[in-house]
């Protein structure tokens, strides 16, 4: 572990503030080699090496006493260097008999998580403030690309939007539908789900003349799409943004987001300026302030074009 940088813990008052606002999924602790998430009644320790896991688990106990919150179960997840080494979390302590699923709440929305679903449980905590911003904007038609379990779509739908969620993974979209159902949102009329490659879907939407007043672009760093087509964010994000702009209404809100550490906020701004010029759009940016549970430098790099 990098001993020069300490673990930053959520203060009891911050924990109480999350609880008071009905948000039950947030970070508890962060250090350079791992972090701990509160996920409803459970805790998840994410670690790059065994020493970090042990340190985080041991120091969680005094934090629990101070915060006055006892996790029902503690899971642990290894953070490998390579995507192919990713595995689902394992149960470290607590009762192994209940289901490995749980439900969390955030800003009046509920999301289902599944510790057995694979490496990711179903909700990216660092996008919480962007989900809230999207709800606040109250868009009418939202295009959520790389939608995963449709968390952005659910947040927008609860604020009255019609949504289109696109993801390669049928399973993730199925979980997305379950998230809509969990929030009593009827998906029969105003919410669409397309299980396909975003790069193939966008031209079809352009061809049909569809327009959206909010577009979410939060792609993975690397993936393989239809016909094994390689997606590499550093090479392809600018083209994706440019294509998405053809689907945007003049005053649309577009979220550009990445976890790729080689792309900085300046890179996103440069891409956005270039695409705005190309599409004759005014250059207006918005950035949500750093979430209180994520120390500076942690979490996705995100930029709204507004
Ligand atoms: C980082 S996650 C997106 C997280 C999501 N924005 C959220 O906030 O929950 C990336 C998602 O992109 C999907 N994906 C990867 N390549 C894709 C492609 N070419 N077309 C559509 N979806 C793709 C994956 O299946 C995965 O669900």
pLDDT digits (tens, 9 = 90+) for 20-79: 999 999 999 999 999 999 999 999 999 999 999 999 999 999 999 999 999 999 999 999
* Residue 151 in contact with ligand 1 by CB distance below 6 A: yes
Mean pLDDT of 271-294: 97
Q: Which residues contact 253 (CB under 8 A, 6 or more apart)?
A: 134, 137, 139, 213, 214, 215, 286, 304, 305, 306
Instruction: Determine if residue 213 is left, alpha or beta; phi over 0 gives left, psi from -120 to 50 gives alpha, anything else beta.
Output: alpha
Tell me, in angstroms, the distance from the centre of ligand 1 to residue 61's CA: 35
Mean pLDDT of 8-16: 96
Choose one of 25, 112, 133, 146 to mutate for the ligand 1 pocket test, by most ligand atoms within 8 angstroms of C-beta: 146
* Residue 218 in contact with ligand 1 by CB distance below 6 A: yes
Alpha-carbon gap, residue 231 to 221, rounded angstroms: 8
Instruction: Find tokens 């934090």 and name the residue.
Output: 63
Tell me, in angstroms, the distance from the centre of ligand 1 to residue 220's CA: 6
Tell me, in angstroms, the distance from the centre of ligand 1 to residue 207's CA: 23
* Residue 194 in contact with ligand 1 by CB distance below 6 A: no
The phi and psi torsions of 15 (rounded to 5 degrees) equal -60, -45
3-state SS of the chain is CCCCCCCEECCHHHHHHHHHCCCCEEEEEEECCEEEEEECCEEEEEECCHHHHHHHHHHHHHHHHHHCCCCCEEEEEECCCCHHHCCCCEEEEECCCCCCEEEEEECCEEEEEECCCCCCCCCCHHHHHHHHHHHHHCCCEEEEECCCCCHHHHHHHHCCCEEEEEECCHHHHHHHHHHHHHCCCCCCCCEEEEECCHHHHHHHHHHCCCCEEEEEECCCCEEECHHHCEEEHHHHHHHHHHHHHCCEEEEEEEEEEECCCCCCHHHHHHHHHHHHHHCCCCCCEECCCCCCCCCCCCCCEEEEEC
Half-sphere exposure of 156 (CA within 13 A, CB side): 28
pLDDT at 1 over 50: no
pLDDT, position 5: 62
Is there a contact between 23 and 105 (Cβ–Cβ < 8 Å)? yes
CATH fold for the domain made of 125-305:
Rossmann fold (3.40.50)
Task: Quote the percentage of the chain above a pLDDT of 70.
Answer: 98
Mean pLDDT of 160-164: 98
CATH number for the domain running over 8-114: 3.30.750
pLDDT at 265 over 60: yes
Mean pLDDT of 9-19: 96
Tell me, in angstroms, the distance from the centre of ligand 1 to residue 95's CA: 32
Residue spans per domain, the chain: 8-114, 125-305
Alpha-carbon gap, residue 210 to 140, rounded angstroms: 13
Half-sphere exposure of 32 (CA within 13 A, CB side): 6
pLDDT, position 259: 96
Mean of pLDDT over the chain: 96
**Confidence bin at 4 (pLDDT 50/70/90):** low
Task: Quote the percentage of the chain above a pLDDT of 90.
Answer: 97
pLDDT at 3 over 90: no
Give residue-wise pLDDT tens across range 195-248: 999 999 999 999 999 999 999 999 999 999 999 999 999 999 999 999 999 999
Nearest CA to 202 among 214, 194, 190, 192? Answer: 194
* Residue 193 in contact with ligand 1 by CB distance below 6 A: no
Tell me, in angstroms, the distance from the centre of ligand 1 to residue 138's CA: 23
pLDDT, position 80: 95
């Amino acid at each position: 572990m990098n001993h020069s940088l300490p673990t930053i813990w959520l203060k009891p008052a911050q924990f109480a503030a999350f609880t008071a606002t009905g948000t039950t999924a947030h970070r508890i602790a962060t250090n350079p080699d791992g972090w701990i998430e509160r996920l409803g009644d459970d805790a998840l320790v994410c670690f790059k090496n065994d020493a970090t896991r042990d340190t985080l688990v041991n120091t969680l106990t005094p934090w629990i006493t101070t915060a006055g919150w006892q996790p029902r179960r503690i899971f642990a997840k290894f953070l490998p260097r390579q995507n192919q080494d990713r595995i689902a979390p394992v149960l470290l302590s607590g009762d192994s008999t209940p289901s490995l699923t749980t439900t969390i709440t955030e800003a009046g929305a509920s999301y289902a998580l599944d510790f057995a679903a694979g490496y990711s449980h179903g909700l990216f905590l660092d996008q919480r403030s962007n989900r809230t911003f999207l709800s606040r904007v109250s868009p009418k038609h939202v295009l959520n690309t790389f939608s995963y379990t449709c968390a952005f779509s659910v947040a927008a739908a609860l604020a009255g939007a019609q949504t289109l969620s696109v993801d390669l993974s049928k399973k993730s979209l199925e979980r997305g539908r379950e998230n809509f159902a969990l929030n009593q949102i009827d998906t029969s009329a105003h919410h669409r789900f397309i299980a396909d490659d975003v790069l193939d879907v966008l031209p079809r939407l352009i061809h049909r003349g569809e327009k959206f007043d909010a577009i979410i672009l939060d792609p993975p760093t690397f993936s393989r799409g239809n016909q094994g087509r390689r997606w590499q964010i550093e090479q392809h994000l600018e083209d994706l943004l440019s294509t998405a702009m053809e689907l945007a209404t003049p005053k649309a809100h577009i979220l550009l987001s990445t976890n790729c550490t080689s792309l900085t906020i300046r890179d996103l701004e440069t891409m956005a300026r270039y695409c705005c010029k190309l599409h004759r759009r005014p250059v207006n940016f918005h950035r949500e302030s750093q979430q209180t549970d994520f120390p500076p430098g942690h979490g996705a790099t995100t930029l709204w074009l507004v």
